[in-house]
Amino acid sequence: MFCQMAFTGAAFERLIKYRIADAFRPINSTIPFPPGTNSWLDGVLVTGVEFAQIENDRFVAVNELQSADGPVSPNSANYGFNAAALSMKLTTQVFFARDVDVAAAGLGQPPVFTEFIPGALLPVTVRISVNPDGVPIVQMDLDTAPLAGLNLPAPVLAGIVSAASATYPFDIGAQLKDTFPPGNTRVLNAGITVDNQGAIVLRFEFPGEVWQSAMAHANDWQKFFSPSFTANLGGADWCMDLDGGAVASQFAKMIDPNLKSKGFITFDSTGLLRLHRRRHPSRRRHKTRQSRQCLRRKRRPVRRIRQR
């Protein structure tokens, strides 16, 4: 059972810009920059982001629930997959205002000057892992080595590092607790990648109602990280794909606990919810063995949410 979120490169770039702008904190004192004068740090602005996939970034063992209340932990056979990571190169501008200009401006807007930082000098790697509580953890790691050649004051560099590096929980299971069947609030595995159309895709895997082997889970993840993977945005800025069978199962439980015995629910190709009534045994058509096998091979439909 899964939840998958996809964004166009432009949409995800906006999220990154907002996140870094929100995380940046100004310095409450002047700094000796440029040489021979003092300035206030007026702001940091990300003007562009270049995305790429980091293939085979690390090996990840498929997680399992050892019990209903137990922790999320790797499977005993250590089956796993080679996870990718997201590479971001930020084009950044840093704004300063000289203290003498600020004093002369009074209540007006003082003039500012800009220091440009090439995008290749601010590389950030994004990974998603899952903690023992089943909560995905998003990690943004800025490579600080290139910052040494920028000749910026230490407080400015510290502010850039603080804004571009972060580790925070993304508890999507809690948000979907009323959408998926009970017992699926914890995530087993999570990942982020860039598909072959340049979309940024996040995938979260839940225990589900149907057992699946660790090897099968590993194969699903390997396909997700493969160069041929495509998230079908269908022209939207972003979309969310949910396991249609799981959503239908929860919907049935919410409406009538006995509904599952009365019929089955699916989403059709247009996204409409359909309830199928079961035929009386005497009215059922005889199905050949071959047709029954074909029915078993049908994939579960997917519930899709789109936003332009």
Concatenate the DSSP letters of all residues of the chain into one string.
Answer: -EEEEEE-HHHHHHHHHHHHHHH----SS-B--STTS-EEEEEEEEEEEEEEEEEEEEEEEPEEESSTTSPEEE-TT--EEEEEEEEEEEEEEEEEEEHHHHHHHTTSPPP-EEEEE-GGG-EEEEEEEE-TTS-EEEEEEE--GGGGGG---HHHHHHHHHHH-EEEE--HHHHTTTTSPTT--S-SEEEEEE-TTS-EEEEEE---SS---HHHHHHHHHHHTSTT-----TT-SEEEEEEHHHHHHHHHHHH-TTHHHHEEEEE-TTS-EEEEEPPPGGGPPP--HHHHHHHHHPPPPEEEEEE-
pLDDT digits (tens, 9 = 90+) for 47-65: 899 999 999 999 999 999 8
For the whole model, what pTM was predicted? 0.77
For the cut 80, the answer to whether the pLDDT of residue 299 exceeds it is: no
For the cut 80, the answer to whether the pLDDT of residue 112 exceeds it is: no
Q: Is pLDDT larger for residue 244 or for residue 28?
A: 28
pLDDT digits (tens, 9 = 90+) for 192-207: 999 999 999 999 999 8
Domain residue ranges of the chain, discontinuous segments joined by +? 2-242
pLDDT at residue 225 in the model: 97
